[in-house]
Structure 1
Amino acid sequence: MQVAVLDDDIHQLELLSRAVEALGHDCHRFETGAALLQALKRSTFDLMLLDWELPDMVGLDVLRTLRLQHRARTPVILVTHRDDERDVVQALSSGADDYLVKPVRGAELKARVLALLRRVYENPRAAHRYGDFVLQPELCSVMYRGEAVALKQREFDLALCFFTHLGQVLSRSYLMHTVWGHDADIPTRTLDTHVSALRNKLVLRPERGLRLSAVYGHGYRLEAVTAPAAEGDA
């Protein structure tokens, strides 16, 4: 998974990053809130670790912007020296999913990251329901109103990315790293071909209440739309 770590203390940034990478995730490091918010315009993250005290803004402002402007449900752990109950309540009320007090203990951080990812992204082998669609990881297929649509493994992995991030713009780099792996050396046209095949097989168009479209300069987005009324509907 793609994890963003924001901390202006280089030693803390290194500690947090190493703990995340030890769990097998890709870590993206940021030292200012502005740098992270700028990255969010072109990148997608599965988890964020945010420091409270930053040189350009407070971590809560980054969190609020994430929730309001980007409308992202990305899980967030706030990491800070503040341990007052009022601060914890304020952070959770602002949209944080968990709260960790410095000095950070590596084992506890790893346990909290794993627990949060399990809670947010559920069991990867379990079926996922999104309206009339049901994604079945073990069968590598999607059911639409009870009818199965078989997909290739990469197509299914793409479908899972889009449905679990419904409404969000997913960058090309995020999709390629998540589906093909961080070190995969494939042409970007391969991604376009798979997205096109997925759109056609699942008919991800307004008549089914969903639209999978390219977002110029960024990537792709699957969004819910109002399906047109069928002929004869009153």
Structure 2
Amino acid sequence: MRVLVVEDEPRLAALLVQTLTEEGWSATAAADGATGLEAVRTGGFDGVVLDWMLPDLDGPAVLQAMRAEGHAVPVLMLTARTALDDRVTALDVGADDHLAKPFEVAELLARLRALHRRATASIVAAHRAGDLVVDPQTRRVFRGPTEVDLTAREFDILALFMEEVGHAVSRYRILEEVWDGDTDISSNVIDVHIGRLRGKIDTPFGRSAIQTLRGAGYRLDPAGG
């Protein structure tokens, strides 16, 4: 597990890095908000410990930028603020959990482990084809770190393809599962939706995950195109 510690107090940052390392985790420190945000953008972290009060960008500003850019890494926010409004603000801007200062290191480690378990469970529940990720619980779709907005029909078609990834999905099956067997729906309507879906998950990324199989329907490439 790789953890980014964004903390401007040198002694606390050093203590957290040392503690995480002793736990067998890989820890990296950033001393201000801007540096922390750049580190997140490089990717590869499984968790972020983020202080509220930071130079340049404070913790909430860093977190807002992260979420706006599509970085879903779990974040534990540290704060000396204990008022209810501050705790609510931390969660509203995208924190997965928060911990009031001063704190016991054992509690911080326990909260990080809990965040990691939840994130891992979410990943297992999601369907993947290369860097294309479909989460049926939240109905969210990602190409790498980029979230892709789909209509309800487009999502249902893609979710069906994901369930049968690597295998042919007939037009009849699409009609049955996405349009509830509505016989008034023409084949052309399915083509239009597939075209729009390709225009969102494939074309902007130079990919071709959705493949047309003449006489058989469609197939989703397991490698994501």
TM-score, normalised with respect to structure 2: 0.59
Residue 82 of structure 2: SS of its match in structure 1?
A: coil
**1:78 pairs with 2:77:** yes
Contact 1:166 1:224 in 2 (8 A): no
Task: Give 1:130 deviation, angstroms.
Answer: 4.0
Question: Paired residue for 2:104?
Answer: 105
**Residues 1:132 and 1:90: Cα distance change in structure 2 (over 3 Å):** closer
Contact 2:75 2:97 in 1 (8 A): yes
Question: Paired residue for 2:143?
Answer: 167
**Residues 1:39 and 1:22: Cα distance change in structure 2 (over 3 Å):** same
**Distance across 1 between alignment mates of 2:3 and 2:28:** 6
Pairwise mapping of residues 1-234 of structure 1 onto structure 2 (< 5 A)?
1-69=1-69, 71-122=70-121, 128-131=124-127, 167-168=143-144, 227-232=210-215
**Aligned letter for 2:214?**
E
Contact 2:8 2:31 in 1 (8 A): yes
**Distance across 2 between alignment mates of 1:33 and 1:131:** 33
1:170-211 CA-partner distances (Å, limit 9, x unpaired)? xxxxxxxxxxxxxxxxxxxxxxxxxxxxxxxx97xxxxx9x9
Question: Paired residue for 1:155?
Answer: none
Task: Give 1:114 deviation, angstroms.
Answer: 1.1
Task: Give 1:44 deviation, angstroms.
Answer: 2.2
Task: Give 1:131 deviation, angstroms.
Answer: 3.8
Task: Give 1:10 deviation, angstroms.
Answer: 0.5
Contact 1:167 1:224 in 2 (8 A): no
> Which structure would you say has the larger Rg?
2
Task: Give 1:132 deviation, angstroms.
Answer: 7.7
**Residues 1:224 and 1:120: Cα distance change in structure 2 (over 3 Å):** farther
Unmatched 5+ residue regions in structure 1?
A: 134-158, 170-201, 204-208, 213-221
**Residues 1:81 and 1:73: Cα distance change in structure 2 (over 3 Å):** same
Residue 87 of structure 1: SS of its match in structure 2?
A: helix
Task: Give 1:89 deviation, angstroms.
Answer: 0.5
Unmatched 5+ residue regions in structure 2?
A: 135-140, 146-164, 167-197, 219-225
Task: Give 1:228 deviation, angstroms.
Answer: 4.0
**Distance across 2 between alignment mates of 1:106 and 1:79:** 12
Task: Give 1:223 deviation, angstroms.
Answer: 11
Contact 2:4 2:29 in 1 (8 A): yes
**Residues 1:131 and 1:22: Cα distance change in structure 2 (over 3 Å):** same
Give the paired residue count: 161
**Distance across 2 between alignment mates of 1:224 and 1:112:** 38
Task: Give 1:226 deviation, angstroms.
Answer: 6.1
**Residues 1:166 and 1:10: Cα distance change in structure 2 (over 3 Å):** same
**Residues 1:131 and 1:43: Cα distance change in structure 2 (over 3 Å):** closer
Percent identical pairs in the alignment equals: 31
RMSD: 3.9
TM-score, normalised with respect to structure 1: 0.57
Task: Give 1:80 deviation, angstroms.
Answer: 1.0
**Distance across 2 between alignment mates of 1:74 and 1:225:** 27
1:140-199 CA-partner distances (Å, limit 9, x unpaired)? xxxxxxxxxxxxxxxxxxx7x996996336xxxxxxxxxxxxxxxxxxxxxxxxxxxxxx
Question: Paired residue for 2:195?
Answer: none
Task: Give 1:229 deviation, angstroms.
Answer: 3.9
**Residues 1:59 and 1:85: Cα distance change in structure 2 (over 3 Å):** same
**Distance across 1 between alignment mates of 2:210 and 2:119:** 28
